[in-house]
Each structure stands twice: as C-alpha cells, then as structure tokens.
Chains A and B, each alone.
Chain A
C-alpha cells in the first residue's frame, strides 16, 4: 500500500472541497448573512489547512496507483469529505455535530434523508451548501478532480472505477482526463437546462438552483418539509422528467452528442429502465381511484413519485404512505432497482438486475442440461465471468449490509416499528431518502438516536460507493506493511 500517495490525494481532495465551499460563502454574502458567510469561510480555511498540510507531508514521489490504492483513496476521500463538509453546519450552530455529519453524508451520497426540522431558521448560505453537496456528490468529487487538475494519470482508472456507479466502467474517449471532463460538461449542461426551465416555472434563481442540485445529483434535499408538493404542475413535470434523465447512463448522452443516436437507442438497459418506469406508473395510476382531482393529477403524481424513487432522488409531491397497498408495494420494489449504471443514481442498478436475471436463467438451464455451455450476453457482447461473479457477490454483499443496518437500527430503536426501520435502512443504502412510516416523505430522520444516525450515515456511504471500497478500506490486511 502506497500510503504517501493515498494521503497526498486525500489532501488534494480536501483542498478541492475547500475551494468549493467558497461558493456558498459568496451566496451567504449576497443575502447579507455576514455571520454564516464568515463561518463557512472558516470551514473552508480549516479544510484547506488540513488538506495542504497533508499534501506537504506526503509530497509526491513517482508512484503509481494500483487497484487497492484506488479503493482506499475513494473510501477515505468520501469519509473525510463528509467530516469536513459538516463544518459549515457545525460552525454556524445550525445543526449539532452528529446531525451535521448525517446531513452531509446524506448530501454527498445524494440520499436526501434530512434531520432538518425548521428550514426557516437556516441561513441561505448553509442551505445552498447543503444542496450543493448533492451536486458535487452526484458525479463524484474524484471525477471532478481528475477533470480539472493536471496530474499524472497512471492508474487513476482504478479511482474512477471505484467511484462511478455500475458493474463495469467504460471510457468513451482514450484519455481518462478527457472522459472525466466530458462527464462533467454533460452534467453541467443538463443542470443548466433544468435551472433555466425551472426559472420559467416561476421559481427564483436560488430555489431553482437548489432543486436543480437535488435533481441532478438524484439527491432530494428541498427547501421545506413538504418537498415539491406546493409547486405548480409545470415545475413538477420538469423536475420529474429531469429526474428520469439524470438516471440514464451518461455514456448514452455522449453517444447522442456524437450523432450516434441509433447506438444509444440500442441500449437494453435504457429500455428496461424506461419500461420499469412506464409499467410502475401505469399500475399506480390505475389504483389511484381518483385520489386526486383529475386523471392528469393522478398521472402526474404517480409519475413523479415513481421517477423520484427509481432514480433514488427522494423528492415528493404527495404522501405516498397513504396510498393503496399495491401502489406502496410497487414503490417498495423500486427502491431496490435504482437507475442505469453510469448515472448519478444509487441502488442496485438496472444493468445488474438484468445480469442477475441472465445468470439465474443460465444456471437454471444448467441444472436441466448439465452439459450445456452458458454464455451471458449483454448489450450485444459477451460478459466475462469476472464481471458476472462481481455482480453476484455484489448482490450478496448488498443484502448482507442491508440486513446488518436493519438489525443495528432495530437494536438501537426498540420503540420504532419494523416498517420504519426496514425502509429507513433501504432508503439510506439505496440513497433514496424518504421511506415509509415514521420516515415517510413528509417526515424526517431527526427522531433517530445518535447511534442510529451514525449507522445510517455509514449505510448511505456504503450505498453511494457500492460497498466494495469501504469494506476494503476497513480491512486491516490492506494496510499492513510487509
């Protein structure tokens, strides 16, 4: 393990975070909040000081990043980003220490589970930072670092692979730096379009930025306890459609820009993703029984909640906890699926679901025809056994982590019902945000105890990084000196 290199990169990440914190400080100044502005600046200074110190101590020698360094860098980067990202909440006194860490973890991992109870008392700058963490965490801070900083790129593919969600990671241009840059340009472009469209819907710039951050990172932090319920239908449609768009693999957008629409439309994952959304909306709309005034309202409401859950965003325009059993069951299933690989969303990912299905079919056939040779194909090409094994072991680990979180929650919260604890575990591990019961769409996580909040924060990080990096970074064997 190349510790110097790991800590050098960590220092770099903290410095990047410090620079990013300057933006909410400026927002605070614009709104004339001198106290929060200075507190955010102080947080930025602390992060910068620690980061620069780390870089100074671990000055770079020629060294490569291998797979293990990649995993460890990503895991530690997210942990330290969360700790330092909590500073603005702590310094301004708007949240307690554990609450601040929970909120930041929820922000960076684009979960959107919140412990904030009164939005009115929070300053604009801190609210902006809270939502900005969604946007930064959505595409990943290491990807950002790679896109803008000149650095030797030897081995950095391991970092990208560990940070970008999905079973496999494909570059679409030869250079990793250019790949990262293109990803961010697409991300910025889509976000800009959404902001402008929300401005047309009557939001002010601050609001539209907050909701764009929430949508783009598939996060879900809003500006009130009722999320988007009280906004007009136009805004709900815009946010709904953009949620779906941010759940699509970004490689497909690149293909479209390059004029290869046909190739992009061939993606099986895309069609299954859209199919899942379509059929879920249909089932729920049918079972609405005119819960809302018109068919249009029913359709919009069910589409919005489905899009919000499947993309793991977590915005809400209705309290879906009051819906019929089948509707809630469909939403419950959607928690697991998540969106496409290579998007900003969490969850298991549609492509993994497809591959799992194909593996099961192959193995079933193998039981009946013991001599059959099975090849799993996906998107027109053969998937090698390593990837397949990775998918199955991911699924097993995923279930194991989910089970552990659920058990720990039940242990810490003897008075809370099972539905609440179960959906809270799912909503955090899948980075969705709201669950059912006491953590329903209009509720928050503030009632949980300190221990539970730490468990849930870790659960969110596990979900965002797709489990492996954190598990590997926590295993002592990787750290042992030879």
Chain B
C-alpha cells in the first residue's frame, strides 16, 4: 500500500520506520536535503525534497495514487494544508498532526470535516491521556485500553518481593481467583506468550488483560495496589504538561508545574488558574526539594530533553516518590531508562506511530473483521490488536479449544455487548464481538490470521 509521510522529524522518522517494517511503499517528503539523505540511507523508501504543501511536490511524491497521506511536520497549518491538497489530488485517506491547543477544541471537528481529514492526531494530547490513565492506576507500568475502556491490559513489573516469583501460571490462577489472563511476559529482551506451565520470575514484566475492576482486585490480592495519585508534580511546561494538568485539575487533583521560561509560565498561569506554576530550572534539585518533592504522590518529567527527564526521574525515585513517569522519545534511551529501574516510560512518538500503523493496516485488510486498536507491547516485540468480527469470518461459532492457533498467539479477551469475557476453551467468538488478540512474531491483518 502506498503511504506518503510528510515531515521527517522526531515523530515522522519513527512513523516511517514502523510503516516500512509493515511492508508499505513509503514516500517521505521533507524540505531538508540532509534529512532526506539520512532517511534514504537508512530505510527502503523513496524521498522527495520539498514543501509538502506544494502542489508540485505532492504530485512528484505521487499523492494521486496514494492510499494514505500522513502529514506530521512541526506546523499544524502546513499539515492541514498538505492534507487538504493531497485529498484534492486524490489521496484516499489523510491524517494530520494538529497539536496547537487552540485548534484542539471545538474547532477540530470543523477542521476535520472541512478538510476531509480521516484523522487528526495530537501526540501531546495522546501522551497526556496515557499519563493520566497511569496516574489513576499507578500500580501498572503501562495501561492499554480496548473497546472504549471496557477492557484493559496492564503491564506490571514484578518486584523482587513479589509472591508470584517462581510460581507457575496455573498455580497463580488457583491462588488468585478472578477473571483475568496473563497474556504476555517479557524477560530481558525476550517476549513470551505464556501457557499454564510458564513459571514467573521476579523482574519479569507481565501483561494482564481484564476489566479495570478485576485488575484492581488482583493487584490488591498481590499486595501491589497503590492508591491513586492526588498530588502531582510536573517538570517542564510543554504542551503535554498543559493537557495533563488540565485533566488532572478537572478531576480535583493538586498540580505543580515547574518551568524555566517565564513567558511559558505566564501562559500556563493564565490558562490553568488552579495550578501552582513555578519558574525555575527543574534540573536544580533544591527547587524540587523546596517544593516538597518527597510529599508528592507522583512525579512526571515532561521536558523536551530525554536525558533531563531520565535524570530527574531517577532523582525523584530515590526520594521515594511512589509513582514516577518520564517522557522518553528515543528508543535506545527508553531501554537505558528501563535498565536504570524507571519502569514507567511514555513515548509520544510510539503512541502516534501505533495509531498510524493501525490505520494503515486496517486500510489494507479485507472484509471479515476490522482492526479497532493496535498496541505494540513489550518494546515492540509483541502486539495486541482488537478486532471487530463481522459475520462471515472463519473464526465464528467454534469453541476456542477446537481451533488450531498459530504459535505465540492468544485470544486474550472477548467483548460482547460491552461485557468482557476472559475466554476459556469452551467459549466461542460470535459475530459483532470485539476480540483482543495478542501475538509475538506474528503480524495480524485479520482476525483469521490467528488460525494456523
């Protein structure tokens, strides 16, 4: 499938990488020769140097025959114009990155309709939403939601003192009863789709699918439940920080934001009157201590520098802040941060590329089922997809135990009429169900891909 990615900055490059790995024909448009050189050396893509909103450039990139145009440059206006032009030229679908808060209110719907956008994505807002979910549910290192939050997958890091150490999964099920499923385990750099005889170890990162309340109950039984964060300190006054603070304040939490730039501080004060905005260098530890870092429930590092975020997060962890979340964009940095025992890392560009990959994959897939959500789990070595199953799919109406699945795949949940079912061997998939599937080393395009 032909995809054009306009803008190859931090986010764009990551999207290109994921799309190439998916096997799409990717054309990259960027106005810097240097970036173009770099990207054509690194990935199997064609590149066009020029302004993406320019008619000639779009024609050269082949917008007419393209299925999807994703415009992710720094400039919202340019992205909108690019998508508008591409659509007029005949691109089938367009996605624009629109991140200015001014455009992200009620005017967004108008833009989308007028410009015929298939999707508008706001990486900062998406990151803020993810962080918000984590703050509401701090025991998990990561929470992915399916089917409009009716069903969730929580990733937990098993601490050294966990009662699960050395326990086989079927023993765990006997000891901690409930409607949940351990569907993926990451140990070191390897990801497993475990069966009942799999033995858990301390230090594993496990993925559990269940409803929110079931996950909470399990965590309570395991003694790993943390209470919701009420007092949150945010480092850096970025757009993500703004969106996050807004959500937190709206649900009655205390928020402190530390930002260096006086002008940004003023703007934040103006738009978030209930927040405490502090001007100062967040990398200076005295300021954090003075503002009561040790009394906070959570610390969120959202500056533009991965390194600073990691360092200050380590500092906060050492001062026993119960929940520390850091924004880290570069993948190798994220790995490093995990080695330094920071378990909760949020990467806006990964969130965005997951969304675009899902969109592209859904466009390619045939009838039978629609991809509703897609997440890359466990550093990208496994993926979780939610399909809406249409009548006529070959998976319908057969008990799961009678179906032959591919290796390393798992049906992790069935959502029927907004009720989640943790499937056992006797359960069946019916038409109009939403089904969550986990796989490692498999690329699903259709629900039928789980069958061997």
A residues with CB within 8 A of B: 67, 153-158, 171-176, 178, 381, 384, 386
Contacts and interface: CB of A to CB of B under 8 A. Distances in A.
A381 B41 CA distance: 20
Interface stretch (B25-33, B192-200, B264-272, B340-348): B25-33
A178 B44 CA distance: 11
Contacts of B45: 174
A421 to B, nearest CB: 41
Given A67-B41, A157-B41, A171 B46 contact: yes
B197 to A, nearest CB: 30
B44 A175 contact: yes
Contacts of B27: 174
Contact of A174 (B25, B33, B37, B41): B25
B46 A174 contact: yes
A73 to B, nearest CB: 16
A176 B46 CA distance: 9
A157 B44 contact: yes
Nearest to A178: B25
A392 B370 CA distance: 55
A175 B33 contact: no
A173 B44 contact: no
Contact of B40 (A67, A157, A175, A386): A157
B25 A154 contact: no
A254 to B, nearest CB: 13
A175 B37 CA distance: 16
Contacts of B25: 173-175, 178
A175 B46 CA distance: 7
Contact of A173 (B33, B37, B46, B49): B46
Contacts of A154: 44
Contacts of B40: 157, 171
B16 to A, nearest CB: 11
A158 B45 CA distance: 13
A91 to B, nearest CB: 40
B274 interface: no
25 contacts: A67-B41, A153-B44, A154-B44, A156-B44, A157-B40, A157-B41, A157-B44, A158-B41, A171-B40, A171-B46, A172-B46, A173-B25, A173-B46, A174-B2, A174-B26, A174-B27, A174-B44, A174-B45, A174-B46, A175-B25, A176-B44, A178-B25, A381-B49, A384-B33, A386-B37
Contacts of A381: 49
A272 to B, nearest CB: 23
Nearest to A263: B60
Contacts of B2: 174
A283 to B, nearest CB: 39
Given A173-B25, A174-B44, A386-B37, 17 more contacts: A67-B41, A154-B44, A155-B41, A156-B44, A157-B41, A158-B41, A171-B40, A173-B46, A174-B2, A174-B25, A174-B26, A174-B27, A174-B46, A175-B44, A176-B44, A178-B25, A381-B49
B89 to A, nearest CB: 15
Contacts of A155: 41
A317 B236 CA distance: 78
Q: Which 3 residue pairs of A and B lie closest in terms of their CB atoms, listed nearest first?
A: A174-B25, A174-B46, A153-B44
A176 B20 CA distance: 12
A386 B34 CA distance: 10
A266 to B, nearest CB: 13
B287 to A, nearest CB: 44
Contacts of A384: 33
Nearest to B23: A175
Interface in B28-56: 33, 37, 40-41, 44-46, 49
Nearest to B40: A157
Interface string B1-21: 010000000000000000000
With most chain A CB atoms within 10 A of its CB, the pick from B37, B44, B45 is B44
Contacts of B41: 67, 155, 157-158
Contacts of A386: 37
A295 to B, nearest CB: 45
Interface in B169-195: none
Contacts of A176: 44
Contacts of B33: 384
B302 to A, nearest CB: 33
Contacts of B49: 381
Contacts of A158: 41
B233 to A, nearest CB: 42
B25 to A, nearest CB: 4
A381 B26 CA distance: 22
A174 to B, nearest CB: 4
Contacts of B26: 174
A155 B26 CA distance: 15
A384 to B, nearest CB: 5
Contacts of A156: 44
Contacts of B37: 386
B27 to A, nearest CB: 5
Contacts of A157: 40-41, 44
A67 B37 CA distance: 13
A158 B37 CA distance: 12
Interface string B50-75: 00000000000000000000000000
A83 B44 CA distance: 32
A174 B26 CA distance: 6
A248 B33 CA distance: 27
Contacts of B44: 153-154, 156-157, 174-176
Contacts of A174: 2, 25-27, 44-46
A207 B10 CA distance: 58
A134 B116 CA distance: 53
A158 B44 CA distance: 11
Nearest to A67: B41
Contacts of B46: 171-174
A154 B45 CA distance: 10
Which of A172, A175, A386 has the most CB atoms of chain B within a 10 A radius of its CB?
Answer: A175
A107 B228 CA distance: 76
A174 B20 CA distance: 10
B379 to A, nearest CB: 16
Contacts of A172: 46
Nearest to A380: B56
A155 B41 CA distance: 7
A154 B23 CA distance: 12
B40 to A, nearest CB: 6
B28 to A, nearest CB: 9
Interface string B91-119: 00000000000000000000000000000
A158 B49 CA distance: 20
B45 to A, nearest CB: 5
A174 B4 CA distance: 10
A157 B20 CA distance: 14
Nearest to A177: B44
